[in-house]
Amino acid sequence: MAMDIVTIEQPEYRQVLKNKAQEIQFPLSQADKDLITAMKSKLHGLGGVGLAAPQVNFSRRIIAIYIPEEATLLRDNVKKFYPMHIMINPSYEPVAGSGVSSDFEGCYSVSSKSGKVPRYEQITVSYYDELGQLHQQIEEGFYARVLQHEIDHLNGFLILDRLTADCVQGSVEEMMALRRASLPPGKRIIFDQVMARKAKK
């Protein structure tokens, strides 16, 4: 299944990106299974950490997550490597007393802006796996940030909706340069290597 990333800058895709995605029924239909397979392949090809179905023009409550080992080298709040996995009909609630922190986020579906987005530091996430088994767990750090970002997509929210006037924000190029400058020299080398690999994809 061929699929392309759609962006909010493309008016014809505003509806799929700004509306709540459709709930998934179990057992999974063949169409949903095919979508999941294609999303995994697409995320690997992009070299990113998360992808939501609306980003590839499907109004379905499915997200794919992949936190590579290199992320643990670039961010202090990455606890471990997360292999490729799928969450179906996911939702989250902040853990009572959870703080809020801001960090750099980009989005494949927003080509005009990036910035430091405020997110809960700890959340309780609920979701179904591909077999229809319900899971509920507490997550924190970068993984929790990625989950909030992707689940936002299923509810019609983009980083543009989270970047308030007091947030550090600007063009994607400006924010990439700012993030790079904020890294210590050792991590900056890794950052450059990662960006070079992504540029080749």
Catalytic residue among 23, 140, 150, 173: 150
β-strand pairing of 134-140 with 169-170: unpaired
Contact assessment for residue 7 and residue 13, using Cβ atoms and an 8 Å cutoff: yes
Written as one letter, the residue type at 155 is N
Question: 157: number of CA atoms within 13 Å, CB side?
Answer: 12
Which residues are known binding-site members for Fe cation? 107, 149, 153
Confirm whether 150 is a catalytic residue.
Answer: yes
For 93, the token pair is 């609630």
CA dihedral angle for residue 179, residue 5, residue 79, residue 173, rounded to 10 degrees: 0
Tell whether omega for the bond before 27 is within 30 degrees of 0, i.e. cis: yes
Q: Which amino acid is at 69?
A: E
* Environment class of 25 (CB within 10 Å of its CB; exposed 0-12, middle 13-18, buried 19+): exposed
Residues designated catalytic: 150
